[in-house]
Structure 1
Amino acid sequence: MIGCLCIHGFTGEAKEVEPLTNFLKQKKGWLVYSPTLPGHGSKEGLRKANFKHWLYAAEVAAEELLKRCEKVYVIGFSMGGMIASYVAAKYPIHKLILLSCSAYYLNPKQIIQDMKGWIIEGWRGELENDILYKLYRRKIKDTPVKATVEFAKTVYKTRPILQKVKVPTLIIQGECDGLVPPKKSAEYLYEMISSTEKQLYYFKNSKHYIWLGEDRDDLLDIINHFLEN
């Protein structure tokens, strides 16, 4: 059996990566697991959790899959990518995929572009139909400052561990990502990871949530090819 651990991003939940997990669950003989990290799912929960809780939860999930499966793959989105890298450096997993991974975070130039677009949509009365705007608005509203500090600690604590990642790694990044500076973060990951088998793909028109855009099918194809070959 093949096990696949999928780790969502900061302030997200397991359902955040459902387009990916649902796709992988169609594979025969695969056990796909996507836990919701401690504290995620509520504003009050995020106030109580810290980065150590998040890393520990990922470790427990990886250990359980390693007990039950012959091979284990780990996929991480955004902050979950940094946690996935931590797991890959510490446990004998077989492949690693990093999606919009936040080795660095915030891309002011793209944020300004997105805001301009939202202002225009607001004038047209179309803003409430913008899925990405509604998602960002909810995240900003429901995220305590303490949790943001813990997010920064997660990135800070896991960056040095990237050098210990030696498994085949696929890095995927949208060039229109407003939360992660595309070149800076993705190329840093590519350079720091020690694996001799690593690939870096950019999606020119994709934002942070690549599967919410026009590149969703291509994204799934690339992931599938990497995991099956």
Structure 2
Amino acid sequence: MKKDAFGVLIVHGFTATLNSVNSLVEPLEKLGLHVSVPILKGHGESSPEKLRGVTWRDWMQDAEAAFHELSEKVDKIFVIGHSMGALIALNLATKYQGGQLDSVILAAPAFRLVSMLGPGRPLHFLAPVLKTFIKSWDLSVALSDHDEKSRSMHYLWAPTDAIMSFFDLISFTESRLHDIRCPMLILHNRNDQTVTQNSSDIAFKGVATASSDKDIVWLERSEHQMFCDCEKMRAIDVIIDFIQSRISKTAG
């Protein structure tokens, strides 16, 4: 069976539902692209309890399985990752760049969290201690547009062990940035209260991608859930423009 030329893999973030990224699907399909949006283990369930005991390697396995399934239908794949999903996208790049992975699009890549307990933050040394007696963490609303229903975008709490595994993924991915050289687009929100702005600088400066093949675009008003918030159409348009330019470059 003849493959189509291009497809898109979209990877959601930690504790997120598919509602957090579904606004991307229709515009991408209108370009004639195959779109895959896997649900990562422990997500999309009736309770965050389903995340208990799940690790970042489970999420990588789910994303990689979706990548392979999509690769049977298309020759080249764009990987879009939001927040934690951006870290998964980067790990896919280390393995598949130069082959079926064309490029990555990172939306608010989660290298530095606003939480002082995250990797690279002042109180990170306390995280292993806290997990011994705190079994779950509440999560905050991540939208500037409070008319949106944040409950449908992500869980309202998460098990501590899953959060610790997310922290491990952050450290692991940061250690591999220098191995990444594929084309890259980064989007971030200046109003993000979940992931710090310098997270995108870490990604931009840390990869080996040529300067001409990477860019950062800033959104001025959105919060962390950029594909559901007040500037979602701008974020989608920027991604569409990037993908179309990559397709044109490949065709040329």
Q: Same fold (TM over 0.5)?
A: yes
Identical counterparts, % of pairs: 27
Question: How many residues are aligned here?
Answer: 206
2:65 aligns with one of 39, 60, 69: 60
How far apart, in 1, do the equivalents of 2:26 and 2:114 lie? Answer: 29
Match of residue 121 from structure 2: none
Equivalent position amino acid for 1:59 in 2: E
Instruction: Say whether the 8 Å CA contact 1:172–1:201 is kept in structure 2.
Output: yes
Are 1:39 and 2:55 an aligned pair?
no
Instruction: Confirm or deny: 8 A CA contact 1:13 1:37 kept in the other structure.
Output: no
Change (3 A) 1:157 1:132: farther
Give the AA of the match of 2:111: A
- 1:172 aligns with 187
> Taking structure 1 as the reference length, what is the TM-score of the superposition?
0.83
Q: Which amino acid aligns with 1:165?
A: I
What is the SS of the residue equivalent to 1:171? strand
Asked whether the 8 Å contact 2:111–2:199 carries over to 1, the reply is yes
Question: How far apart, in 1, do the equivalents of 2:223 and 2:34 lie?
Answer: 29
Separation in 2, partners of 1:132, 1:188: 31
Secondary structure of 1:4's aligned partner: strand
TM-score, normalising length from structure 2? 0.76
The structural deviation recorded for 1:77 is 0.2
Query: How do 1:69-218 residues align onto structure 2 when only pairs under 5 Å count?
Result: 69-91=74-96, 92=99, 93-106=101-114, 130-131=147-148, 134=151, 139-141=155-157, 143-182=158-197, 184-196=198-210, 197-218=213-234
The secondary structure found in structure 2 opposite 1:131 is coil
Give the gaps of 5 or more residues in structure 2.
117-140, 246-252
Q: List runs of 5+ in structure 1 lacking aligned partners.
A: 109-117, 119-128
Question: Aligned partners of 2:200 and 2:177: how far apart in 1?
Answer: 12
- Give the alignment's Cα RMSD to 1 decimal: 2.0
Would the aligned equivalents of 1:179 and 1:208 in 2 still touch at CA under 8 Å? yes
Give the match for residue 8 of structure 2.
4
